[in-house]
Amino acid sequence: MLELTVGYVAGAIAAGIFLARIYAPSVLTFILSAILRDKNSAATWTVAASALHRSYWPNLLQADDAKNHGVRRDIIFLTYFISFMGALIAIAGIITPLGLYETLVATDNVQTPFQYLKDSSPFGYGTPPRSNLTFNRKCGDLGPLPCPYSDTIIVNVFDQSGNGTIDMPYGYNSSIPDIVTETYSSGVGNDTTISNYFDIQYRRYQSTVDPTVNNGSKFLVGTYRQMQSLVLNDAVQAVEGLIVDTVNGGVGFRNHTVPPGFKYGASWEEDILFIEPETVCVDTNTTLDYRIAESTNVSVNVLDLVITDRGGFVNLNRSYPLIDLSDTQKNSKIYERAWKAAWMTNWYTMLYYNITNSYNETSGQKALSYLNSEVGKTFAVPSLSDHSYYDSLGMDGTFNEHLNLGNGLGASDSPNADARPPKFGIQGIKSSNFSDIALICSGSGGADYANITNTYVSCGLMRGIPKRQDEGPEMIFDSNSRWSQPIYSCASGVKATIKTVSFTYNGTFGLQSLNITSLKDKEYPNEESKPLWGVEDTGNAYFQTDVNLIWGLVSNDYSNNQNVSVVRQNSLYLPGYRRGFSLLSSQFAIQNLPGSQFYQNAMDTSYDVGGSSSPPIDYSGGNNMAMWARWRELSSTPETASMIPNIIFTDNAAATVVGTKGVLGPGNSAQRNLVALPVTPTERKIRYRWPFAIPALIVALFLFLMSIAGILTLIFGHGSLSKMRAHLYQSSTGRIFTTFLHPEQGGLRVQSKDWSKRMGTAVVDLSGDYPMGAGPIQGPEKYDRAGSGEVSAEGEQFLGEVGQASPRQEYVGAPGFGQPQLYTGVQYTVPPAGK
C-alpha cells in the first residue's frame, strides 16, 4: 500500500489545481461565448478575443489559431515551444512536490540526565520493591558445610558405623563474605551499564527465619510466580528490570532509565550483561507415528502407535562416540553432546526391541552382530490413554517417555507393527538405562567437583509437534487421520556474555516506548580488551551438589588468584549441573543466590514439558493453539527446533529475576548519571527524493536558456518593449477592426488609453461574413497620426520622411454577400525618390 506523505498530498493538490486551471477557464470562456453578441464594441471584441484565444477552445475546435498553413516556421516553433513549456511547467508543478517527505533524523549527540521508568505491564505490577536484606548462601547437601570464606564452624562427630552428630556451636552464618562480594564485583564499576553477579536479584522473594541461621534473624529466599508468558511475542522487549529476547533467547539485566524531554525521542547505546541459552538439537531419524481413533468415546484416542526407523536404527554409527570435555570453557561441545545422546537413545532402543545386540563378554559376540531393521520398519509402542501426550510438544529429560517404558504391552498396541517389544526386557535394558543418557550428555553430575570446567548442560528428547500424513487440515485431528512426530535429541548450555544494545525512546507509552532496535555481541578490538570472567576455585573441596559457585566479571588483579579460576573471552559458560528442580521447587526457599540458581532451574523446567509434567505454564501447546502453531513451525527441522528450549528458558528466566543496575548506578539510587552516555536526539526534518525533481530541473534548464536568448535579443536590438507594445496593438482584435472601419480615428499605433477613449465604444457588427461598423463613434472625428508620433519605424520606412496619406474609398465585403458597408480607408502615396 502506498504510504501517504506530505509530498504526495502536495502533488495531489497541485494536480487538482492544474485540472482546475484547465477546467475553470474552459467553462468560463464557454459561458463568455454564450453571452457574447454579434454586435459589440471594439473594446469588447478585444477583451473577449483575448480570453477566447487564451483558452483551450482554439485547439479543441481546431480554429484558426491551431492551423499552421502559411505561418512562418520560426513562429510555429516558438508557439509550439510556448505550449510545450506550459505543459512541462504544469507537469513539474505536479511531480516536483511528490519528492517531499517528512522524516525523523538523528542530530548531534548530547549529554542529558536519565530517570527511572516504571513498567506498567504485569511484570511491573508483579515486581515488589527491592529489599534491604542482602544475599546469602547455604552449602552442603547431606549436611551443612561452611561456604567458601565463611566463618561458620561445624563440628562433625561420627562413629565407625556412621552414626554421629553435626554441631554448629555458633550457628550458621549464611551471609556473603566481603571478599567474595568485592572479588565478583571488581570487573565493572558504577561508571558502566554492565551488570555483574550481585546486580541480579530474584524478581519475587520472601523473608524467612531459621533459629540456626544468622542468630535467628530474618534473611531472604527466592520465590517464583509466573507474570506473563512472552513466548509468542517473537521480539526483543523491555520489561521491569530486564531486556527479554524471545527471538533468539536470553535475558539482559537493566534497571530501566530513559532520557526524558525529547519531543520526537532519542537514541543511544549501552553494553548490557546477558544470560543466554545455547541449544543444539539433532534428529534421531526416528518418528512416533499413529492414527486418531474414529470415536472420542474410546479409552485410547491414539491407535496404531509405532516408532518408525527413518534411518536412525539401520544407519547407526558402529563406533561409540567419545567427547573430550577437558576445556569446556573454550568449547562446550553442545552439538557433540546432543549427537551422542541421540546415538545412545537409538542404541538402547535397538537393544530394547532386539533389533541388534550388545557386546557379550561371556560368548565374545561383538556388538551389532545382527541388525533387524530397515528404513520404514515400524515397532509397536504402548499408547497412553491421554492423547494430549502425543498431539503436542514434549520435552523429556529421562529419554524414555517416547517408548512408554514400564507400561508393558496392551490391547492398544499397534496390531500392524512390523515388530513388538518383548514382554520382559532382554539384554538388561530398562528405563534407568535411558535415564543415564542425560547424565552422560551433561558431562557431570552432583557427585562431580564444583569448578569452572563442569559447566551446566541439560539434555533431553524433544517430541516435536506432529505432522499430518494424509490429506486434510494440518491443525485438525480428524478421526482416522494419520500423524507423525519427529524425535530430536537436544542439549542446552547457558552462558554469560556482553551485548551492545541500541535503544530508542519517545516517551509516548511509558516503558512500551523504550524500543530495542539492535542487539548484537559486543565487539572487542583485541584479546586484551575482552572481559575477564572469574569462577570460584575451591580446590575441589566441594561437590556440585554441595555448593552453587559464584561467578562474575573480575579485574585483572585476580588473573593469578589461586581462589579464582579465570578465562578471558567473549562469554562464560556458567557452572552447574542438571538438578531436575523446577521453578516451583523448594530449593528456592533455602538461600538468596539468584545469579547461581535461576539459570539452572529455568533450563531444568524447559526440559520438563508435556506428559506428566506440571510446570507453571503449559508449554506443550496442548492448551494453547497459538503456541502449538509456533512450535509446529519451529519443530519442523532440528535446527529450528533448538529455538524451543531457548524460548522456554527465556520465558522462565524473565519471571524469575530482575536486573537492578542502570545509568543511575545500582538500584538507580544516584541523583545524576553515573555513566556518561552520549544521547542522540531525534528531530523532524523535511527531506526530498531527487528523482522527482527531474521535470523541474529540465524546466530550470530551459528557463536559463530562454533567459540567455532573451538577453541576446535585447542586446542586439532585435527586441524591445516598444516593439512588443506595437505587436500587441497589431494583434488586438478590436483595434484591427476600427483601423479598417474608422481609419480617420487613428491606426494600429494609437496609445491604448487614447484608442480606448476614441474607439473603445465603436460598435462592430460581426453577424455577417464580414465586419461592419454600427453606430456613431464617440470622441474626435479625426486623429493626426503623424502629429501624435505613433508612426512606427516600419511605417516610416514605408512612407518615407515626406510620405503623405490621402483618403480613398473601399468596400468591406464581396459581391453576393449582402449590402457592403462603405468605409473611408487610407491611400498611401509615396513621393518619387530623391524628393
674 versus 66: which is more confidently predicted? 674
- Statement: residue 133 has pLDDT above 60: yes
- Statement: residue 407 has pLDDT above 60: no
Beta bridge partners of 807: 826
- Statement: residue 259 has pLDDT above 90: yes
**Weakest-pLDDT range from 584-598, 662-676, 727-741:** 727-741
- Statement: residue 264 has pLDDT above 80: yes
670 versus 762: which is more confidently predicted? 670
**Weakest-pLDDT range from 184-198, 475-489, 775-789:** 775-789
Which three cell numbers, joined as nine digits, stand for 508?
509516548
DSSP helix/strand/coil, 77: helix
What confidence score (pLDDT) does residue 103 get?
Answer: 84
Confidence of residue 166 (pLDDT cuts 50, 70, 90): confident
Count of C-beta atoms within a 10 Å radius of residue 264: 14
Is the Cβ–Cβ distance between 775 and 762 less than 8 Å? yes
Going across the sheet that includes 551-553, the strands are: 551-553, 532-536, 564-568
Note the pLDDT tens digit of each residue in 7-27.
678 778 888 887 877 777 777
CA 210: distance to chain centroid?
51
Note the pLDDT tens digit of each residue in 564-597.
999 999 999 999 999 877 665 555 578 999 999 9
Number of H helices, E strands in the chain: 18, 33
What confidence score (pLDDT) does residue 244 get?
Answer: 98
Q: What percent of the chain has pLDDT over 90?
A: 51
Q: What is the pTM of this model?
A: 0.77
Note the pLDDT tens digit of each residue in 303-313.
889 999 999 99
What confidence score (pLDDT) does residue 809 get?
Answer: 43
CA quadruple 20, 21, 23, 28: dihedral sign: positive
What confidence score (pLDDT) does residue 226 get?
Answer: 87
Q: Work out the average pLDDT over 118-138.
A: 94
Rounded CA-CA distance 198/200 in Å is 5
Exposed e or buried b for every residue in 225-259, given b needs 16+ CB within 10 A?
ebbebbbeeeebbbbbbbbbbbbebbbbbbbbbbb
What confidence score (pLDDT) does residue 426 get?
Answer: 56
Tell me the HSE value of 765 on the side-chain side, using a 13 A CA sphere: 11
Task: Provide φ and ψ at 40, rounded to 5°.
Answer: -145, 165
**Weakest-pLDDT range from 375-389, 621-635, 792-806:** 792-806
649 versus 55: which is more confidently predicted? 649
> What's the mean pLDDT when you consider all of the chain?
84
Task: Name the most confidently modeled range: 51-65, 594-608, 741-755.
Answer: 594-608
- Statement: residue 732 has pLDDT above 80: no
389 versus 392: which is more confidently predicted? 392
